[in-house]
Amino acid sequence: MSVPDPSSLDIEFMSRACELARQAQRAGEVPVGAVVVKDGTIVGEGWNRPIGTSDPTAHAEIIALRAAAAALGTYRLLDTTLYVTLEPCAMCAGAMVHARVKRLVYATTDPRAGAAGSVFNIVQHPALNHRLKCTGGVLAQECSAMLRSFFAARR
């Protein structure tokens, strides 16, 4: 799923997701950020907020998907790409499938809960009615370092 030479657009949009992850970190949340892009324009953004909102579903991806759906006026996010700094969990991966996101780009894998190939592969599961194209590893070192630093500081 990794691509050795990501496009400049992938780097640009993942950079924005990294900025959002830093915002989550400043708020004391796990530093994960996400953006939804359609036709080269960001239509939804989010960062992790489950602690601050007391909402277990307030993951960066869910917030970004909700914002994109509101901006586009539809729950079907056809021809969109979701960029996220950490491989999605099962909840977020399922939401992407239901929303019909076309492509997922993530920075670093999640070996404990990743649902885009690490632990599960919900986004490409043959039993489901929609599958996403996936690209992993875009700005992986930067996002991985941010997560390691965050968890090291909490120990």
- pLDDT tier at 152 (50, 70, 90 boundaries)? confident
Residue 45 exposed, middle or buried by CB count within 10 Å (0-12, 13-18, 19+): buried
Residue 5 clears pLDDT 90, i.e. is over it: no
Least confident of 7-11, 32-36, 95-99, 104-108: 7-11
pLDDT, tens only, 69-107: 999 999 999 999 999 999 999 999 999 999 999 999 999
Residue with token string 């539809």: 74
Percent of the chain with pLDDT over 70: 97
Show which residues are catalytic. 61
Percent of the chain with pLDDT over 90: 91
Residues with Cβ within 8 Å of 97's Cβ and at least 6 positions away in sequence, in order, are 122, 123, 128, 129, 130, 131, 132
Q: What is the pLDDT of residue 3?
A: 47
Q: Which residues are annotated as a binding site for Zn(2+)?
A: 59, 89, 92
Domains and CATH numbers, the chain: 8-150 (3.40.140.10)
Sequence letter at residue 57? T
Alpha-carbon span 123 to 116, nearest angstrom: 6
